[in-house]
Structure 1
Amino acid sequence: MDKTTKKEGMRQETDCLGSVFIDRRALYGINTVRARDNFAVSNVKLGDQHDYVTALVMVKQAAAITNHQLGVLSTDKRDAIVAACQEIANGAHRQWLIADVLEGSGGTSTNMNINEVIANRALQLLDYQPGDYHQLHPNDDVNCSQSTNDVIPTAMHIALLLRVPKLLIALNELAESLCQKRDEFSQVLRVGRTCLQSAQPMTLGQAFSGYASVVKRCASHIETAMTALNVVALGGTAIGTGFGAAESYRSRVVENLNDISGLTLRAADEHFDVMQNADDIARLSAEIRIAAEMLGKIATDLTLLGSDDAGGLGEIALPEQQAGSSIMPGKVNPVIPMLVQQIWFSIVGNDSVVSQAVSHGQLEINHFEPVMITRLFDSVDLLTNASQRFNDKCISGLMAHETRSLHNLLHSSALATALVPEMGYQKVADIVRDKHQPSRSFMDTLEQEGLMTKEQAEDCLQRSVARDNSIE
């Protein structure tokens, strides 16, 4: 294709590296084209990240309003920029947000992609053509008083504040379902096990009270970690000095951002800190990882308890969701707990990446926020979806096999602990090791040795598990 033909339907934009031709209809510009060509690695485009895009345009809208208030942006430009931002926030023009989120410029390509789309849409609203930057410029006007280094961390915080509440809802709903099972199974006697060996009698409800409690606690710790995200870097410009922003911009822009977002953000007390460090992101990621690990532990327990009674414990019945084998007819696997376990592994990996990225910031900024964003967003979405699936497709329909649970209990040595106060540890241990035979239940051993009747055992079991495990 010759140069003349290439120009048809195209516009030319120039930067310090030269010129490129861009489709006249496109709302992105030369910086986005270079990003597209350089960073197409993850197949996750900026336009795919709804909350992130929404956060970015909130920042740009607040900046435009503030710059107008301070006399550095005209009314016409402010109105056009604000209108373009609102259109993007409502879902329009996102096909032009094509920069790979995992871009290698510390967020510059992301920032410029959003700047160019806002600028070119604002130009259309002012009856100019995209690329006519003499009338309204992506850097001079849309990015006025800002740098990538304060825009990106601020947008990341806002996006997480928008996104994580969905995870908290999913975790708390899961905890509530576990509470319901706690109550439903409050009279189901079973063997409490330590190191996969019989330990003491308990109820299945008591086990579920522990599951419910830890899920609630994980949600609470995530919510606490989120409070640090209300502190934002906006107004720090490139390295925390605020150089390049209009006087009084820092305080006003956060006020305007709160009006737009409905959040309770505040400017950092120490901008050099928030520009250099991302420990608040690492802390949130770690709490999400811990929550994933706890759900994984519960899923592991349920897989063991639901192992079939021919070759396993068989104390609960997991909802059957699909055939489990392409060769073994009738086999059904615990697919939902196994899904949760794989999500757990994935989130542990994501948190490791976040931790590495946070610790490798250099001097005045951290260049690795793009990978923090992608991994943390992935963790939030994975854990949200896993919590919902775990709740809907496993916990809510889970049932107890009471007869099997009682059978396992009476055949175990879990009753031995009840004899210790009267007989002493060593004598009871001798009974367990020398008198008890695997071919008969431990209850039969106790009766044959004249140590305890079934009535006494039943009374002992009821007393041992009769305590209030309600969760506040």
Structure 2
Amino acid sequence: MTRIETDSIGARELPEASLFGVNTLRATENFDISPLKIGNEPAFVRALAAIKKAAAKANGETGVIPHTIRNAIVTACDEILAGQHHGQFVVDLLEGSGGTSINMNTNEVIANRALQIIGHRAGQYDLLNPNDHVNSGQSTNDVVPAAVKLAVLEKAPLLLSSLAHLAEVMQQRAEAFGNVLKIGRTCMQAAQPMTLGQEFEGYSSALFRARDKIRAAVEDLAVLPLGGTAIGTGLGAHPGYKEAVYRHLSSDIGLALRPADNMFDGMQNSDSFARVSSEIRIAAEVIGKISLDLIILSSGTKSGIGEIKLPAVQPGSSIMPGKVNPVLPMMMQQVAYAVVGNDAAVSLASMSGQLEINHFEPVIASRMFDSMDLLTRGCRIFADKCISGIQALEEQALENLMGSSALATVFVPKFGYAKVSKLVKQAEAEGKLFIDLLVEMGLLTKEEVIDALRDAANPQRTA
């Protein structure tokens, strides 16, 4: 069974069972560019449906659409919000119409499902129309960016929770490693004594800060361009619509949403997306740096630093027996690279808006959703399969510390600069470790040396 629908370009045949219409069909043919369709992003589909539901309520309240049509649209939207019909959202997320095809896919699915709800066939648009009823008081230009913002707001709690989980697991390791002495390094050279716990405390603190920065940036997304229609004037929206649509939308999704202070600014600029994307990128960079540190610290005890041991989650080589690679930190490095690239795309798209709107919100949405999903999943895996199982190799860490001439600085207050300098030169001349020379000469016992190193790692302990 098929049906015929006509648009301004001409008539097309569609499967009778499809809820999308001719505009959507043309978009699937014109923009089949990626495997990612809007139906693959449930948060985005729900956001679009929530906006259409609130708009129908507002238009019913102001008398723009009849009560029967209002109820049918609301019911159709409720079905979508409950997870139904997402397979009918078939337009590519990277469509090239600045969001028009995304908006029309939504309008057509809702209109056709609403027609079925009131006992008519899909495509009977003289009774209930995608443009005149579902899209009343709206434009692609205010609906799509508003929906992207709502989708990011929905996805953000999971991302924030994953970052907090990673930070908490890192803090647990910090507490477990609180007494593990090691050498701190700057410029990849030995610097001063510290504990492994202090190193992990730094990681945890950075992750919590990244979480908080993202949360603060995301809060700005509660400011929407909805009600601006095409360019910010609100032309096409009935008096009372704007106030009503925000009231209903805020109530329906449980967020305090408000219109932009200046609707022209709200329509023209995408800086709020760029700001959130930037903070997500920074979080990924923090995790990428931590991952690299863990790779370095876990490098083999005989051929590298070897102060920690990462969980062995899989064999590391198809040719070298027994080799285990730091695959999870390497995974997170690649996640970081991808997020950095995504942010570059968001930045370019935000910069490239033209005059009264930004036509590139589809790619902004695509890249931001990808970054959020990558970090949300990645942080959980990283925390649970890698960080939680890290072991400290205390003996190796202490050996690396005791073998460093950088420790000489620790003993300057006790013996004086001149004497310590002389001892360093003597140790080098005799091919001995500086610490071993101190013990051999009876200046300190090994226990006193370790106590001095603990004091140096925690100056507050002796303050």
State the TM-score, normalized to the length of structure 1. Answer: 0.95
Q: CA deviation at 1:454?
A: 2.5
Partners of 2:145 and 2:328 in 1: how far apart?
A: 35
Task: State whether structure 2 residue 436 is matched by structure 1 residue 444.
Answer: yes
What CA distance in whole angstroms lies between the structure 1 residues aligned with 2:11 and 2:50? 31
Does the CA contact (< 8 Å) of 1:192 and 1:414 recur in 2?
no
Amino acid at match of 2:69: K
Cα deviation per residue 1:142-181 (whole Å; 9 max; x = unaligned)?
A: 0000000000111011000000110100010111111111
Paired residue for 1:183?
Answer: 175
- Say if 1:84 and 1:412 are closer, same or farther in 2 by CA, change over 3 A: same
Residue number among 188, 194, 202 corresponding to 1:196 in the alignment:
188
Pick from 63, 73, 78 the counterpart of residue 81 of structure 1. 73
| CA distance in structure 1 between the partners assigned to 2:420 and 2:154 by the alignment | 58
Distance 1:250 1:467, change over 3 A: farther
AA partner of residue 64 (structure 2): V
* Separation (CA, whole Å) in 2 of partners of 1:350 and 1:97: 24
Instruction: Output the CA distance in 2 between the equivalents of 1:438 and 1:311.
Output: 25
In 1, Cα distance between equivalents of 2:215 and 2:430:
49
Structure 2 segments unaligned to the other structure (5+ residues) = none
> 5 Å matches for 1:87-98?
87-98=79-90
Decide whether the 8 Å contact of 1:22 with 1:29 is kept in 2. Answer: yes
Runs of 4+ in 1 over 2 A off after TM superposition: 419-442, 445-456, 465-469
Give the corresponding residue for 1:311: 303
Q: Find the counterpart in structure 1 of residue 367 from structure 2.
A: 375
CA distance in 1, matches of 2:459, 2:385: 30
Describe the shift of the 1:103–1:445 C-alpha distance in structure 2 as closer, same or farther (beyond 3 A).
same
Q: Distance in 2 between matches of 1:281 and 1:391?
A: 28
Amino acid at match of 1:170: S
Aligned length: 461
* Amino acid across the alignment from 1:155: A
Partner of 2:324: 332
Distance 1:273 1:461 in 2: 58
C-alpha distance in 2, partners of 1:226/1:28? 32
Q: What does residue 279 of structure 2 align with?
A: 287
Do the aligned residues in 1 keep the contact of 2:50 with 2:77 (CA within 8 Å)? yes
Aligned to 1:139: 131
Task: Give the 3-state SS of the residue equivalent to 2:300 in structure 1.
Answer: coil
User: Would you say 1:122 and 2:117 are equivalent positions?
Assistant: no
1:407 equivalent to 2:405? Answer: no
8 Å Cα contact 2:229-2:237 kept in structure 1: yes
Letter in 2 for 1:220: D
Contact 1:73/1:141, CA 8 A, preserved across alignment: yes
For 1:71, the equivalent position in structure 2 comes to 63
Distance 1:61 1:42 in 2: 29
Determine the C-alpha separation between the residues in 1 that align with 2:432 and 2:362: 62
> Partner amino acid for 2:153?
L
**Residue 51 and residue 193 in structure 1: after superposition, are their counterparts in 2 closer, same or farther (change >3 A)?**
same
Q: What secondary structure is seen at the aligned counterpart in 2 of 1:183?
A: helix
C-alpha contact 2:427 2:433 (8 A) present in aligned 1 = no
Equivalent position to 1:113, from 102, 105, 118: 105
Question: Which residue matches 1:226?
Answer: 218
What is the TM-score with the length of structure 2 in the denominator?
0.96
Are residues 1:208 and 2:200 paired?
yes
- Contact kept, 8 Å, 2:277 with 2:368, in 1: the verdict is yes
Which segment drifts farther, 56-65 or 302-311? 302-311
Cα distance, 1:420 vs. partner? 3.2
Query: Aligned pair 1:58/2:50, yes or no?
Result: yes
Q: Aligned-pair distance for 1:447?
A: 3.6
Contact 2:423–2:434 (CA<8 Å) still a contact in 1?
no
CA deviation profile, 1:179-231 (whole Å, cap 9, x unmatched): 11111111011111111111111110010110110000000000000110010
**Percent identical across equivalent pairs?**
51
Say if 1:376 and 1:274 are closer, same or farther in 2 by CA, change over 3 A: same
- Aligned to 1:363, which of 355, 358, 377? 355
Alignment partner, residue 14 of structure 2 = 22
TM-superposed CA distance for 1:422, in Å, is 5.3
Query: Structure 2: how far apart are the matches of 1:438 and 1:66?
Result: 87
Partner deviation per Cα, 1:249-298 (whole Å, 9 max, x = no partner): 11211110011111111111111001000111001000000000001111
Cα offset, 1:459, TM superposition: 2.4
